[in-house]
Amino acid sequence: MGKKCRFYVDIMAMHEEVTGSCNLAIVKFPNGETLRFVTDCGLFQERKYDELNNELPFDPEKVDFCLITHTHVDHIGRLPYMVKKGFYRPIYVTETTNKLLPLALNDSFKVLSSVSKRKNVKCLYSEADVDKTLSLLKPCRYNETIRVNDNVKITFLNNGHLVGAALILVQISYPEYEDINLLFTGDYNNKNMFFNVNPIPKWILELPLTVIQESTYGDMDSTEIKEIFKENIKKCIESDGTVLTLVFSLGRAQEILYELKCMQENCELDSNIPIYFDGKLAIRYTNLYIKDGLGIKPEMKDFLPRNLTFVDNESRSDVLKSTSKKIIVTTSGMGSYGPAQVYIPEYISRSNTLIHFTGYTAEGTMGGKLKNAETGSMVEVGGLIAKKRANVEYTTEYSAHAKADEMIEFLKQFKNLKLVLVNHGESQTKNIFAERIVEEVDAKRVGLLGREYFFRIDSYGLVKTLSTKFQ
């Protein structure tokens, strides 16, 4: 047993629930050497965890490399902060993520800078920190095994969550010892309307494996999803109302535009109804989809609906003044940032308006607050007090996360699961999903990955759990 424990990995999470994703792995080798790597380094978006954005409970200077699963701010938003604090080594990403990150990190800096000015506090990081972060990126191809050093290999695998998203396999070796194999799912989905999701190679399915598994919708099956978006849009437009659709800049924005195009083609939406698309970053991403491709299917490059107008700061006032029926597609997805800060205060008190959220809304965000507010009640929106007269709806039908039953099927593929560590979910959801894994998946052990415990793993699976020194 002593020999086994001299070669191990300690895995811990810097995040407790959904946002702020950051997993630290500390590898101990039999010769006494130590290697550290981080998977993702995102911003916390839940209000109760906001203070955690200002801390990293590890020394970035000692981290040997970083892995990025995909380009969402809750997974990449604190990369420049980690660099500011001393990280200076390679950041491995997919080729598509390498193209997206400059836009994402520069936009994140602008948002954080604006917020810090309003709060009269120092910004989390500088534009120079963003530039330095981008200089560290190392693009990798899917399914190509990259040797990081003599002891570590990484392989990026196709993931339907987002263009450029990846499952990341990390294989850690040492002479005369069995490999330790870790698979980080990031935010996982088994499908995407813009590209084909390839199956996991057979050789990976047969590895003795520890899976660090997301659980965002671990308490919901795919059969529970109700498709309500199109019907809600039609009802509002038929009543001569305005539809305000909140989208994430990358992925969701393009999917909703395509859905509107399909509605036009299927005679479910009159092509004469004007559609306005607002949000600088979302528009830039959309142009990348069209011009670069980003690995999407060729036939999907033509995804824009007819009668679409791109909105900027100058033309936004004309949209707001218009009293005719229309559809506005805007960022941010949770309603707290971007042009949504202008549109929601304007439309929340209009009874002929449908405000439609199309994805996850974290607690403390504008979307989270409006979800819990009764129609006719007073709500605080951008510092203003207004009566909620608009119809506010939410749908998970476009969610980029696999549901519980789909994640169970994903895990069942693996022939030799030593350990499944459940993370990236609200506390109760993580528990529910972990219990389901115990019941339905042939995994040797199942754990809950959060800030309270870290897990010591060797090539045989779990060695033990220990309390972390941070809360």
* pLDDT higher than threshold 50 for residue 2: no
From 368, 394, 420, the end of a domain falls on 394
**Mean pLDDT (the chain, rounded):** 92
Distance CA 286, CA 260 (A): 15
From 358, 375, 394, the end of a domain falls on 394
Percent of the chain whose pLDDT exceeds 70: 98
Range of the domain at 58: 2-220+400-467
* pLDDT higher than threshold 90 for residue 402: yes
Cβ(16)–Cβ(177) below 8 Å: no
Same domain, 274 and 332: yes
From 373, 394, 415, the end of a domain falls on 394
* pLDDT higher than threshold 70 for residue 1: no
Distance CA 384, CA 380 (A): 5
Q: What is the mean pLDDT of residues 290-317?
A: 93
Q: Is 327 left (phi over 0), alpha (psi -120 to 50) or beta?
A: beta
Distance CA 252, CA 406 (A): 20
Cβ(75)–Cβ(44) below 8 Å: no
User: In terms of DSSP bridges, do strands 8-13 and 453-458 run parallel, antiparallel, or are they unpaired?
Assistant: antiparallel
* pLDDT higher than threshold 60 for residue 138: yes
How many CB atoms neighbour CB 17 within 10 A?
Answer: 25
User: So what's the pLDDT on residue 426?
Assistant: 86
Amino acid at residue number 213:
Q
Amino acid at residue number 378:
M
What is the H or E stretch that residue 458 is in?
strand 453-458
Same domain, 69 and 175: yes
* pLDDT higher than threshold 90 for residue 49: no
Percent of the chain whose pLDDT exceeds 90: 76
Cβ(14)–Cβ(49) below 8 Å: no
Nearest CA to 316 out of 292, 335, 340, 337 is that of 340
Distance CA 203, CA 309 (A): 48
* pLDDT higher than threshold 70 for residue 115: yes
Nearest CA to 335 out of 356, 311, 320 is that of 356
User: So what's the pLDDT on residue 16?
Assistant: 76
Distance CA 282, CA 132 (A): 24
Distance CA 285, CA 328 (A): 17
Distance CA 434, CA 413 (A): 17
Q: Which residue has the tokens 């002891």?
A: 151
Same domain, 386 and 460: no
Distance CA 294, CA 251 (A): 12
Distance CA 101, CA 124 (A): 18
Nearest CA to 300 out of 358, 261, 248 is that of 261
Same domain, 320 and 337: yes
Distance CA 109, CA 78 (A): 10
Cβ(132)–Cβ(83) below 8 Å: yes
Per-residue HEC secondary structure of 189-202 comes to CCCCCCCCCCCCCH
Same domain, 197 and 250: no
User: So what's the pLDDT on residue 81?
Assistant: 95
Cβ(465)–Cβ(447) below 8 Å: yes
Q: Which of 50-54, 83-87, 133-137 has the lowest mean pLDDT?
A: 50-54
User: So what's the pLDDT on residue 372?
Assistant: 82
Residue 469: pLDDT band (50, 70, 90) is: low
Cβ(212)–Cβ(182) below 8 Å: yes
User: So what's the pLDDT on residue 371?
Assistant: 82
pLDDT in tens, 65-86: 999 999 999 999 999 999 999 9
Same domain, 408 and 383: no
Number of separate domains in the chain: 2
The model carries a pTM of 0.92
* pLDDT higher than threshold 80 for residue 4: no
Same domain, 214 and 256: no
**β-pair partners for 237:** none
Cβ(257)–Cβ(268) below 8 Å: no
Same domain, 125 and 9: yes
CATH number at residue 97: 3.60.15.10
Distance CA 315, CA 375 (A): 30
Same domain, 304 and 281: yes
CA pseudo-torsion sign 436, 439, 442, 443: positive
Q: What is the mean pLDDT of residues 87-110?
A: 95
Residue 470: pLDDT band (50, 70, 90) is: low
What is the CA angle 182-169-426, rounded to 5?
65
Q: Which residue has the tokens 């809600």?
A: 232
Same domain, 86 and 105: yes
Amino acid at residue number 224:
E
Same domain, 295 and 410: no
Per-residue HEC secondary structure of 388-453 comes to CCCEEEECCCCCCCCEHHHHHHHHHCCCEEEEEEEECCCHHHHHHHHHHHHHHCCEEEEEECCCCE
Distance CA 95, CA 292 (A): 12
User: So what's the pLDDT on residue 13?
Assistant: 86
User: So what's the pLDDT on residue 471?
Assistant: 42
pLDDT in tens, 409-463: 999 999 999 999 999 888 899 999 999 999 999 999 999 998 888 999 999 999 9
pLDDT in tens, 387-396: 999 999 999 8
Query: Cα–chain-centroid distance for residue 159?
Result: 12
CATH number at residue 349: 3.40.50.10890
Angle between helical axes of 127-135 and 95-119 (0-180°, round to 10): 170
pLDDT in tens, 227-251: 999 999 999 999 999 999 999 999 9
Same domain, 98 and 180: yes
Distance CA 287, CA 344 (A): 26
